[in-house]
Amino acid sequence: MKIAVLASGRGSNFESIAKAVKSGKISGEIAVLIVDRKNIGAIERAEKLGVNWIYVDPYGYSSREDYDRKIVSILKHLQVDLVCLAGYMRIVSEVFIESFPNKIMNIHPALLPSFPGLKPHEKAIKYGVKVTGATVHFVDNGIDTGSIIVQAVVPVSPQDTSSSLSQKVLELEHRIYPQAVKWFVDGRIEIKGRSVIVKNANYSTLPIVPALEDF
């Protein structure tokens, strides 16, 4: 199975997936890392890991759709089966989604449907929630609205800042994202309307549902 990762920044989630593939925990290959910015951590990590990366300049295209058409053509050329958005700061257009139906995943550092979009940790603290977390979901036309694959819960203490919270959540992101990819690659994910079911998974324990098996 061929996996592509799209990133715009630091790239720590990209690295967690790439390492799981390299170690053989996920049986597939990372076909490419596509980035929409230069000089980012994700590129450095790709070079260290020996992953092929491509920069596609967003300013070279007159619309979001044209930009996505270019990306889709690269992904199709490489025969990519699964696309993972990992800190990718662009909203993907219908063109992209229709080319990879139920084959685009994203990770969002909140318990969706709470706090979609930008600055979720700030929003969580401002709201005063006592738990937050991370969600891996399929991508649909909305912002962080697609069907949920796995969620991890983290407690919020009165001392937490958005940076301390993001650190706690990030540790779990690095476990649930590769796990979701592995479930997909192993053919364990069943989609029924909005509901995503991981076959034979354990849905009865916190803090991660379904429970992690490999990470």
Q: Do residues 110 and 120 touch, judged by C-beta distance below 8 A?
A: yes
Q: Can you state the percent helix, strand and coil of the chain, rounding each to 5?
A: 35, 25, 40
Tell me the closest approach of the beta carbon of residue 203 to ligand GRF, in angstroms: 23
Nearer to ligand GRF, 140 or 173 (CB): 173
Give the residue numbers annotated as catalytic, written as ranges: 108
The DSSP line for 152-163 is: EEEE--TT--HH
CA-wise closest residue to 196 among 209, 178, 212: 209
Q: Do residues 150 and 198 touch, judged by C-beta distance below 8 A?
A: yes
Residue 15 phi/psi, 5-degree rounding, is: -60, -40
Nearer to ligand GRF, 87 or 178 (CB): 87
Tell me the closest approach of the beta carbon of residue 214 to ligand GRF, in angstroms: 19
State how beta strands 82-85 and 104-108 pair: parallel
> CB nearest ligand GRF: which residue?
87
Tell me the closest approach of the beta carbon of residue 109 to ligand GRF, in angstroms: 4
Helix axis angle, 162-185 relative to 120-127, nearest 10°?
A: 120
Tell me the closest approach of the beta carbon of residue 19 to ligand GRF, in angstroms: 13
Q: What is the binding site for ligand GRF (CB under 6 A)?
A: 7, 9-13, 86-87, 107-109, 170, 173
- 64 among the known binding-site residues? yes
For 94-130, b where at least 16 C-beta lie within 10 A, e where not — what string? ebbbebbebbbbbbbbbbbebbeeeebbebbbeeebe
Binding-site residue positions for (6R)-10-formyltetrahydrofolate? 64, 89-92, 106
Binding-site residue positions? 11-13, 64, 89-92, 106
